[in-house]
Amino acid sequence: MEENKEELRAFLVDIVNKDITPALLEDRMIELENLLNTYGGLVLLRKFQKKDQPDYKTYIGKGKLEEIIAEMQRMNSNLLIIGNVLKPSQIYHINELLRPIGAKARDRVDLILKIFDKHATSMEARLQVELVAIKHMGPRIYGMGMELSKQWGNAGGGKWAMRGIGETNTEIMKRHLKYKIHKIETQLKEYEQMRKLHRDSRLRKGMPTIGIVGYTNTGKSSLLNALTKKGILAENKLFATLGTHVGNLYVMTNPETGQGKEVLLNDTIGFIRDLPPKLIKAFSSTLEDSIEAQFLLHVVDASDPFVQERIDIVNSILNEIGAKQKRIILFNKIDLISPEKLQELQKTYGTKDNARISIKNLSWLDAVKRLIVENL
């Protein structure tokens, strides 16, 4: 990607509702900053605008945008990150305004896609990212075609003739992208079928699958590693995991007879707020193993100041992808919270069907295994 070559010196802008609390505003900013850091950029300035109705043409209000562009030029910034999901024409118009100062604009989805692109290592994940990128960028390209045809049309006398050229190019582009989408979807179908075969064979063997889900960076991969010694990359980055990882775990189902059972744990992509449905859908085949799982372990970062908000976001995405099974919350990272906060969590969420864990201290391992056995 073109941006990888030059140092990214970014301005972050978030357009928020007028009634947002300062704490939530700060949380959104930190998350946006984390996304940019994960992608690999330097934050020069953070700005927000309180606005209930985004600007129709440029999303950010006109005056505010002019002010931002002038300041970006002064500070030699080459990237404007907008923490919202913009319409293709809006991002196009902002980019046009940024062109004279040699900078570009990206919205939240662009940024997440670029991170996905950077982290996709398996062939399947790469295909999924490519698919969603085309679906996301496609309308932008058509939008540009429309813009161009309008500009050409207004420029000279031959309005209809010139518009014709713009539309022809758009049509060619549309056809090309349609073909590309079809090709990728066919390839992805093969992976999906392979996965289904594996799932069916596990079912025949009576081996249950348990899905590990949760907000991004909460410790899902760390949990799988701790339980199965799988050695999956776990790092302090958003969306470190793309695609699925499975690990086997042997649990004792009857301590008296020494009888046990092998279960499969399934780790997958983390969730984040404002994730557009089409982005989730692109990963639906990898999420399928979780949707089909016997139950879900929902990993929550206990040290997060917005625990309930994160739980709600994950639950709503799970509902959206049709995961109906039982969800068991595991509060992770309890090494990072005070005994008072721990008590508070206990009071709010109870202890039945929930567990408190920390990957830094493995004394909880047996409690989690017990929870798994109880729910098999």
Ligand X SMILES: Nc1nc2c(ncn2[C@@H]2O[C@H](COP(=O)(O)OP(=O)(O)OP(=O)(O)O)[C@@H](O)[C@H]2O)c(=O)[nH]1
221 contacts Mg ion (rule: CB under 5 A): yes
Q: Which does 285 bind (CB under 5 to 8 A by kind): ligand X, Mg ion, none?
A: none
Q: How far is C-alpha 6 from the geometric centre of its chain's CA atoms?
A: 25
Draw the binding track, 317-346, toward Mg ion (x: CB under 5 A; -: no contact): ------------------------------
Query: Which whole-number Å values give the CA distances from 212 to 15, 29, 265, 344, in the listed order?
Result: 33, 27, 7, 24
Q: Which secondary structure element, helix H or strand E, spans residue 337, and what is its range?
A: none
Q: Which is nearer to Mg ion, 105 or 224 (CB)?
A: 224
Q: Which is nearer to ligand X, 49 or 332 (CB)?
A: 332
Closest separation in Å from C-beta 116 to ligand X = 11
Q: Which does 84 bind (CB under 5 to 8 A by kind): ligand X, Mg ion, none?
A: none
Q: Which secondary structure element, helix H or strand E, spans residue 211, and what is its range?
A: strand 209-214
DSSP three-state, residue 355: strand
Closest separation in Å from C-beta 270 to ligand X = 3
Site of interaction with ligand X (CB under 6 A)? 214, 216-222, 234-241, 270, 332-333, 335-336, 358-360
Q: Which is nearer to ligand X, 203 or 233 (CB)?
A: 233
241 contacts Mg ion (rule: CB under 5 A): yes
Query: Which whole-number Å values give the CA distances from 157 to 146, 167, 170, in the listed order?
Result: 18, 17, 21
Alpha helices by DSSP H, the chain: 22-39, 62-74, 88-98, 108-119, 123-155, 159-204, 220-228, 277-282, 284-291, 307-320, 339-349, 365-375
Q: Which does 335 bind (CB under 5 to 8 A by kind): Mg ion, ligand X, none?
A: ligand X
Q: Which is nearer to ligand X, 54 or 276 (CB)?
A: 276
Binding positions for Mg ion, rule: CB under 5 A? 220-221, 240-241
